[in-house]
């Protein structure tokens, strides 16, 4: 009994020392959060706020309540709960209300899970003020929107006149003149696509990119996108293979916008694979996560690891490919925003000189 008592005393002593060490670490961690210029907070495993730094009270009167958001912005609690169930980090741009001035300022919200022995122990979050940056971006986007609208009208007239000229001349399809007209039409289409993308960027920034969801057969949508790519490219040079479970199911989505994403992924796969035009489209249905995933794999130039996170940012271009391949770096940004509005996720995995896999997920309901 004496020996057992000594063992228990040693165990109690060890636990007390561990608690003191843990408390010291927590206090040090909280002290670091207090020194941050951002609003910082932590949440427990169930998603309840259990610590906030002093900056929090500039935007909220209670530790338990998130700052008040602008009515048109996504609900923080709903977005976090969606990520918490999947064990994924949350990144969101929202406008939150200052309790003193009553003004709404743009903040970048990041909430990241902290793992302990393979399971989520708690969450750490920050609000970073990006209001000044957003104002500069808004001015730039307003310029792009005005310029795009002004360019759209004369371009439509040019396209109509070229089509009229082609009909009037009745050129032999094998003649060099007919070839020149075809090339002009091709360049007009490229310019039209570029202007359309700029207008989409403007709509996204102004919150006017409308998503009209209705039940759509995803397999039919994928087949139509592949057929479009094959028809607009030389069939002898492009080989698109279809792998995985075919999702012959109805999913609520905007058919035009999701097809736009898929065509963009397929076009990029061919564009950045000048020596190998083989593309593989693979689909997976995850019943447990209640989502479907679409992969587009190419065997092209690839993207370095440290640049993969940035490819979905606006106007970003990988330096190694910017001179060899034309583009403004807005296609993937638009795709990312479309998938976000469907409550899905986009991503990429790639190996330099071996190829890339771009993917997106969509919730089943």
Over the stretch 258-307, which tens digit does the pLDDT of each residue have?
Answer: 998 999 999 889 888 877 778 999 999 888 878 999 999 999 888 888 88
Contacts of 27 (CB under 8 A, 6+ apart): none
Q: Which residue has the tokens 């309790």?
A: 99
d(CA 323, CA 319): 7
| 3-class secondary structure, 272 | coil
Domains and CATH numbers, the chain: 36-129 (3.30.450.20), 134-205 (1.10.287.130), 214-363 (3.30.565.10)
Q: What is the pLDDT of residue 359?
A: 95
- pLDDT tens-place values along the chain, 365 residues long: 888 888 888 888 777 777 766 666 666 666 777 777 889 898 988 889 888 888 889 999 888 889 999 998 989 999 999 888 888 899 999 999 999 999 999 999 999 998 888 889 889 999 999 999 888 877 877 777 777 778 878 888 888 888 888 888 877 777 888 888 888 888 888 788 778 777 777 777 666 677 888 999 999 999 999 998 888 776 667 889 999 988 888 999 999 899 989 999 998 898 888 777 789 999 998 888 789 999 999 998 888 888 888 888 877 666 555 444 555 578 888 899 899 989 999 999 999 888 999 999 999 87
Query: Are 363 and 345 in contact, with CB atoms under 8 Å apart?
Result: no
pTM: 0.60
d(CA 294, CA 262): 9
């Amino acid at each position: 009994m004496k020996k057992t008592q000594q063992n228990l005393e040693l165990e109690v002593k060890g636990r007390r020392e561990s608690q003191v060490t843990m408390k010291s670490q927590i206090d040090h961690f909280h002290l670091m959060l207090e020194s941050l210029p951002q609003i910082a907070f932590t949440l427990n495993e169930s998603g309840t706020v259990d610590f906030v730094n002093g900056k929090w009270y500039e935007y909220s009167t209670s530790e338990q309540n998130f700052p008040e958001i602008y009515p048109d912005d996504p609900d923080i609690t709903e977005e976090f709960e969606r990520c918490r169930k999947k064990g994924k980090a949350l990144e969101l741009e929202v406008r939150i209300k200052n309790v003193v001035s009553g003004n709404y300022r743009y903040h970048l919200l990041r909430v990241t899970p902290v793992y302990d022995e393979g399971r989520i122990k708690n969450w750490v979050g920050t609000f970073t003020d990006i209001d000044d940056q957003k104002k500069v971006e808004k001015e730039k986007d307003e310029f792009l929107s005005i310029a795009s609208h002004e360019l759209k009208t004369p371009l439509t007239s040019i396209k109509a006149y070229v089509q009229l000229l082609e009909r009037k001349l009745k050129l032999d399809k094998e003649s060099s003149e007919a070839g020149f007209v075809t090339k002009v039409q091709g360049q007009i289409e490229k310019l039209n696509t570029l202007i359309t993308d700029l207008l989409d960027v403007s709509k996204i920034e102004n919150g006017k990119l409308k998503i009209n969801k209705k039940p759509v057969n995803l397999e039919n949508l994928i087949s139509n996108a592949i057929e479009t790519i094959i028809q607009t490219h030389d069939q002898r040079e492009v080989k698109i293979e279809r792998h995985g479970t075919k999702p012959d199911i109805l999913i609520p989505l905007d058919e035009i916008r999701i097809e736009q994403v898929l065509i963009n992924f397929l076009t990029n796969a061919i564009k950045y694979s000048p020596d190998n035009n083989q593309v593989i489209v693979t689909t997976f249905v995850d019943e447990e996560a209640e989502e479907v995933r679409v992969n587009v794999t190419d065997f092209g130039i690839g993207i370095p690891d440290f640049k993969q996170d940035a490819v979905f940012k606006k106007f970003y271009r990988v330096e190694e490919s910017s001179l060899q391949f034309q583009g403004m770096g807005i296609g993937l940004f638009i795709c990312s925003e479309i998938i976000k509005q469907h409550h899905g996720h986009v991503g990429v995995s790639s190996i330099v000189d071996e190829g890339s896999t771009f993917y997106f997920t969509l919730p089943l309901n």
